[in-house]
Amino acid sequence: MASIYQGPTEVPLPASMVYYFKNMSTTTTTVVRPKKALYKSPTAQVLFAIAVAIVLGYFSPQKAVAMKPLGDAFIRLITMVIALVVLCTVVTGIAGMQDLKKVGRVGGKALLYFEAVSTLALVIGLVVGNLMQPGSGFHVNPASLDAKAVAQYTNQAKAQSVTDFLMQIIPTTVVDAFAKGAILQVLLVALLFGFALSMAGARVKPLVDMFEALTRAIFRIIDILMRLAPIGAFGAMAFTVGQYGPAALGPLVKLIILFWITCILFVILILGPIARLAGFGIFSFLRYFKEEILLVLAISSSEPVLPALMEKLERLGCSKALVGLVVPTGYTFNTDGTSLYMTMAALFVAQATNTPLTLMQQITLLAVAVLTSKGASGVQGASFIALVSTLMVVPSVPVAGMALILGIDRFMSMFRAAINVFGNAVATVAVARWENELDAATVRERLGAIG
């Protein structure tokens, strides 16, 4: 090994420095970084955990089901700081923004994008359900179904008006918003606080500095907690396979596979062109967020990856204020995966119970789903509740028919949560490009360097 002489002793040089000195005569300098061991890669760790969980769930279902607390604990560890992440990110972003009109402009563009793409997803789910007829051939008598199986969901589901939805955004108290962990309520508080600090100017700079320091501390906490991701993924996937394994799928495999394929095609054929218009490739973007997508697939919930998603988008070049506005809002208003699921699953129930739906009834179903899908964000089971509330408005489809897909909902929630997360990532970069915050060449360069 090469060394450098320093008096009576010789100090060995690192391997990368040896390579550098050997190539000093060349016109270009090559920086060689030690290759990271595969077992240290977060992606490899999560993949290994998922593989072990599937094997355990298949060969020892009872032991696999007992692993559920590992997944639940990881989700709770992350979700306990999400409200603080949203508050600090939005407050520091807006407080440091000179042009407050930009906040309203970004919010308006984001909501326009959300409504257009999520409604398109609802239409695609309706079209696929009509063309492929996943529920045909079941011939289930609604009277024979166990309505008690979905009773807990019907109790939680209710048809809500636009006024009801808007009123739910306003918390009873500031503390109540954080106690419930309601993202939209926390976002409203953060927006008001951010605007107030921005308008107060230099007089509140110490408070802004405190929020910036708190933000750095919270993201370090997230880094620590994410080291437990493989354990959380193992617990959640083991429970899923052990509880709802191959024996429980039966004839419903067709619906699961059809939904998975539709989600994949949605990414390629809908989000792909959007990404291309924004100046980057959809597959390099997928590689950039591979750890987050894998984790969501394992735990069937999108909320735990919210902090990591926001941090990666900022590293990509999106401003802190834009990320803080678009991502939390998108978690409620831009649920592409949930939209695909709701119309497709509703048609499945109608077809399986031999309930014919007219064109007008399907349009009504679509219109109701536009509103109810906005309440299905983040947590497990929320999409199922939203679907039940949608069917309650269209009485011709028996709500008891939801018992047919209750057992496989976990397998469908894996992909719908992943599409929700990835759709919001694409939306954030698209809005940032729309705002000229970053150029296409920078996005492609950073995606290429990481991918």
Residue 378 has pLDDT above 80, yes or no: no
Inter-residue contact 42 to 308 (CB < 8 Å): no
In single-letter form, the type of residue at position 2 comes to A
Average pLDDT over residues 139-155: 64
pLDDT for the residue numbered 97: 66
Q: Which residue has the higher pLDDT, 373 or 290?
A: 290
Share of the chain above pLDDT 70, in %: 82
Which secondary structure element, helix H or strand E, spans residue 431, and what is its range? Answer: helix 409-434
Read off φ and ψ for residue 297, nearest 5 degrees. -60, -35
Average pLDDT over residues 128-146: 81
Please provide the DSSP assignment of 54-95 as one string: HHHHHH-HHHHHTTHHHHHHHHHHHHTTHHHHHHHHHHHHHH
In single-letter form, the type of residue at position 103 comes to V
Residue 381 has pLDDT above 70, yes or no: no
Burial of 74 (0-12, 13-18, 19+ CB in 10 A): buried
Average pLDDT over residues 262-291: 94
- The neighbouring-strand residues paired with 3 are 12
Exposure on the CB side of residue 215, measured as CA atoms within 13 A? 21
pLDDT for the residue numbered 132: 92
- The CA-CA-CA angle for residues 181, 414, 345, to 5°, reads 100
- The CA-CA-CA angle for residues 311, 314, 318, to 5°, reads 150
pLDDT for the residue numbered 178: 86
pLDDT in tens, 310-366: 889 988 888 888 888 888 888 888 889 999 999 999 999 899 888 888 898 899 888
Residue 157 has pLDDT above 60, yes or no: no
pLDDT in tens, 72-90: 898 888 888 888 888 888 8
Rounded to whole angstroms, the Cα distance separating 395 from 409 reads 22
Q: Which structure tokens are listed for 162? A: 């636009």
Least confident of 250-259, 370-379, 391-400: 370-379
pTM of the model: 0.79
Residue 444 has pLDDT above 80, yes or no: yes
Exposure on the CB side of residue 227, measured as CA atoms within 13 A? 6
Residue recorded with tokens 């617990």? 235
Residue 5 has pLDDT above 60, yes or no: no
Q: Which structure tokens are listed for 392? A: 């309650």
Least confident of 18-22, 77-81, 226-230, 232-236: 18-22
Domains and CATH numbers, the chain: 1-34 (no CATH), 38-450 (1.10.3860.10)
- The neighbouring-strand residues paired with 6 are 9
- Assign 19 a pLDDT band (cuts: 50, 70, 90): very low
Read off φ and ψ for residue 12, nearest 5 degrees. -60, 140
Rounded to whole angstroms, the Cα distance separating 127 from 124 reads 5
Which secondary structure element, helix H or strand E, spans residue 339, and what is its range? Answer: helix 336-352
pLDDT for the residue numbered 180: 79
Q: Which residue has the higher pLDDT, 148 or 254?
A: 254
- Work out the mean pLDDT of the chain and round it to a whole number: 81
Of the chain, the end-to-end C-alpha distance in Å amounts to 32
Least confident of 10-19, 165-174, 227-236, 337-346: 10-19
Q: Which residue has the higher pLDDT, 339 or 5?
A: 339
Rounded to whole angstroms, the Cα distance separating 154 from 145 reads 15
3-state helix, strand, coil in the chain (%, to 5): 75, 0, 20
pLDDT for the residue numbered 66: 92
pLDDT for the residue numbered 429: 94
Q: Which structure tokens are listed for 163? A: 């006024």
Closest CA to 322 of 424, 423, 220, 416: 424
DSSP count for the chain of H helices, then E strands: 25, 2
Residue recorded with tokens 């989700």? 75
Residue 117 has pLDDT above 90, yes or no: yes
Residue 284 has pLDDT above 90, yes or no: yes
Rounded to whole angstroms, the Cα distance separating 40 from 134 reads 42
Read off φ and ψ for residue 32, nearest 5 degrees. -105, 120
Least confident of 78-92, 111-125, 134-148: 134-148
